[in-house]
Structure 1
Amino acid sequence: MLKVAVVGVGAMGRNHARIFAEMPQTHLAAVADLDAEAAAQVARTYKAEAYADFEEMLTIERPDVVSVAVPTRLHRPVAVAALEAGSHVFVEKPLALSVTDGQAILDAARRTGRKLAVGHIERFNPAVVELKRLLDEGQLGRMFQLRSRRVGPFPPRVEDVGVVFDLATHEVNILEYLTQARITSLYAETQREIHAAHEDLLSGVLKFSNGAVGVLDINWLTPKKFRELTIIGERGMFVVNYLTQELQFFENSSASNGQWEGLTALMGVSEGRVVKYELKRKEPLRAELEAFISAVVEDHTPLIDGAEGLRAVLLAEKIIESGRTHQIIRLT
């Protein structure tokens, strides 16, 4: 059984502690947080040890696995210290506050030979898992456009990053994963309306190496929370609702009737069947942490490893740069 510690017991860290305490392969040995009372409360709930100093915790407990759920600005020092203490490390998304910090975490993982995974939780959403399977089977045909809508009210808990690092990193990672293509250029408009220091609105356009176009609609200014992904292609349109874990396919009957080849502009696209997939709902965080523990036990690369987490950080930096300069950014 693996000995696990969680550093940071805010909203997300508490869930990490709960899941690790329940998993048969893990023993939640300790939690650490600068808020000593918060750490003590979680520790009491799951019969773990509480620490205000995470470095003291690493020295005394020597955990096999450390889950990092602290504010983004602290990811580098906490993750590097845990790796150098000999622990395998899971870091909540985004990997780091900058590419430089993220690379330092990757370097520590390679130097120590420890596993490093990054918490891009939507990759474990049952609707996304099924969508990926269907796309790989060719059900959509060639992709034309991917549109991500991730909007909702302002979250007071997020202070050290804006919507690009907090929310857009979800989408750029998912879109490159689903398309199996790299983003080759991007353009973004960003604004700060109510956040004290960072952007809280993003409208962006992405171009992929396979020719598809991506559209990002992301903000902390919408009174109602929406988490949606739409993909349009030759044979129709997939729609994902991340929140309800629903996946639907709206068929292009022209394509299903074999009329797509040689279609003229006048023939266009016609409405066909609507298919709603029956999916077994699962808590994505549990699936994500179970997958990481499996990677540690079975000694294989995590699904979202450090390199992939670093790619999302790079894209976030480029989006912010484009929003600041109002220029198209081209990526090699």
Structure 2
Amino acid sequence: MAMTDRLRLGLIGVGTMGRHHLRVLSGLADVMVVAIADPDPERRAAVAALTPARLYADYGELLDRERVEAVVVATPTRLHAPVTLAALAAGAHVLVEKPIAATRAEAEAMIAAARQAGRLLTVGHIERFNPAVQLLQRHLQERMLGRLYQVHARRLGPFPARIRDVGVVVDLATHDLDLIRFLTGQEVVHLLAETAQHIHTQYEDLLVGLLRLTDGAIGLLEVNWLTPTKVREIILTGERGMFHVDLLRQELVFYENEHARLVPNGHRPAQISAGNSIRFHLEPREPLQVELEAFCRAVRESLPPPVSPADALVALDLARALVAAAQTGSAISPTVLPMTR
């Protein structure tokens, strides 16, 4: 592909996640990372040997000097709004890491600015691009599970020193809140939560959340920064069996309720019994690469955002509601926008 045909992209923030973006973007044939901004001189020096991109200490200078068509924002959460607003004002399409922003007001301002600028704004809810999740969604749409009874998400791991400006609920639980809505197509109508703070100096680092979805299914969230090994899994139980997804290994298994096979379609099985298990074959892919390819394709072909900022705002709202429920010891019935399809 000719250099002039490649998408000219700027990357703002090259901490841990930003360096992953740089690694993947550098391998995309139709993308050219032309400029990078980060205020930390050590981080700039660390990436200087990895890319021919021009380096800036100030993102405003990058946006003023470079003719970028798209920008990836991988800064701390507190900077998502100002950086995204500046990039949109400069005429760039934007992929901002999740959570979309620190507050609802900031997220609404970002959404309004993208609409006014006529530019695409999408959010890095990366688990949607996991091949196991995408295959699971197809089977759920085919009604392989039948009526959903429960969804249980576990996201556990050690404390990341890089996270200082938000707690585990806003940083990690937003993944699973978005996944639950994405997979089920249902809204959260009622929630309860308990949180605890053990290692983080300012915010919670453990969450147990209980959700009720539109059709009465129950959601359970376990999220923490206190576990020595990473666990990333989601389990969906329904009338016809159970799906188990290991998000790290990209594995999808269905455990059949044998009794459900004996019941005519449209009738609810009255018993649960162990049946066959099916381990689905899928081709592993790095979710970040799938996400970035989708973003660049949407920019080139004027497609809708791969993850709508409205959906990302709902994930943020639900995360904030979980924190509030834990702080007050009260159940909350959030008001959210319908799922974008």
Q: How high is the TM-score relative to the length of structure 1?
A: 0.97
Shift in CA distance, 87/43, structure 1 to aligned 2, threshold 3 Å: farther
Q: Secondary structure of the equivalent of 1:146?
A: strand
Shift in CA distance, 212/262, structure 1 to aligned 2, threshold 3 Å: closer
1:308 to 311, 322, 333: 311
40-49 vs 288-297, greater mean Cα deviation: 40-49
149-158 vs 38-47, greater mean Cα deviation: 38-47
Q: Secondary structure of the equivalent of 1:167?
A: helix
Aligned residues: 329
Is the 2:237–2:243 contact (alpha carbons within 8 Å) kept by the matching residues of 1? yes
Is the aligned partner of 1:61 residue 2:66? yes
Aligned to 1:218: 223
Is the aligned partner of 1:29 residue 2:41? no
1:6 to 7, 11, 19: 11
Aligned to 2:325: 322
Q: CA deviation at 1:40?
A: 3.5
Percent pairwise identity: 47
Is the aligned partner of 1:86 residue 2:91? yes
Q: CA deviation at 1:259?
A: 7.0
Q: Counterpart amino acid of 2:291?
A: E
Unaligned residue ranges in structure 1 (runs of 5+)? none
Q: Counterpart amino acid of 1:16?
A: H
2:159 to 142, 145, 154: 154
Q: Counterpart amino acid of 1:311?
A: V
Is the aligned partner of 1:293 residue 2:293? no
Residues 159-238 of structure 1: pairs in structure 2 closer than 5 A: 159-238=164-243
1:254 to 259, 262, 271: 259
Q: CA deviation at 1:330?
A: 0.5
Q: Secondary structure of the equivalent of 1:46?
A: coil
Q: Counterpart amino acid of 2:18?
A: G
Q: Which runs of 4+ in 1 moved over 6 A?
A: none
Q: Counterpart amino acid of 2:154?
A: R
Q: How high is the TM-score relative to the length of structure 2?
A: 0.94
Partner deviation per Cα, 1:8-35 (whole Å, 9 max, x = no partner): 0011101111222221221110111011
Partner deviation per Cα, 1:39-87 (whole Å, 9 max, x = no partner): 2431331111000011001000121111000000010110100000100
Q: CA deviation at 1:262?
A: 6.0
Is the aligned partner of 1:19 residue 2:24? yes
Is the 1:18–1:46 contact (alpha carbons within 8 Å) kept by the matching residues of 2? no
